[in-house]
């Protein structure tokens, strides 16, 4: 069961990282020059992902304690 919890976290984190990288790539490569809104969208996405990853990781650690 411990292994299952770790694997689910790893899979979710990998999915999150993969999607973030691809979205960042698309915004950097194909956004219009001088577009400020895309920078804000990327920042919100990044901060939200980091917060949710941190929260999930915290609960995972608490489960093992």
Partner 1 sequence: MITIRDQEEVVLVKRRHHFILVRSLIFFGISFVAILVLMIITFFASFTFPEIVAESLPFLLEYKARILALYSLSLLALVLWQVVFVVVAEYYLDCWVVTSERTIHTELRSLFSRILSSVPHHRIQDVTVDVKGIIPTLFRYGDLQIQTAGQFQEFIFNDIPYPYDTQEVIFKAQKEYLRKAKEKGLSVEELIKKDGGSVSEEEKVVNY
Residue 55 contacts partner 1 per CB under 8 A? yes
Q: Which residues of 20-45 are buried (b: 16+ CB within 10 A; e: fewer)?
A: eeeeeeeeeeeeeeeeeeeeeebeeb
41: its two tokens: 């969208």
Q: Which of 32, 36, 39, 43 binds partner 1 (CB under 8 A)?
A: 32
Residue 22 contacts partner 1 per CB under 8 A? yes
Cα separation, 42 vs 21, whole angstroms: 11
Q: Which residues bind partner 1 (CB under 8 A)?
A: 1, 5, 8-9, 12, 15-16, 19-20, 22-23, 26-33, 37-38, 41, 45, 48-49, 52-53, 55-56, 59-60, 62-63
């Amino acid at each position: 069961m411990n292994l299952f919890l770790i694997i689910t976290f790893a899979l979710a984190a990998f999915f999150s990282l993969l999607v973030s990288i691809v979205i960042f790539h698309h915004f950097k490569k194909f956004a219009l020059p001088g577009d400020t809104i895309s920078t804000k969208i990327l920042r919100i996405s990044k901060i939200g992902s980091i917060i949710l990853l941190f929260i999930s990781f915290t609960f995972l650690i608490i489960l093992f304690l």
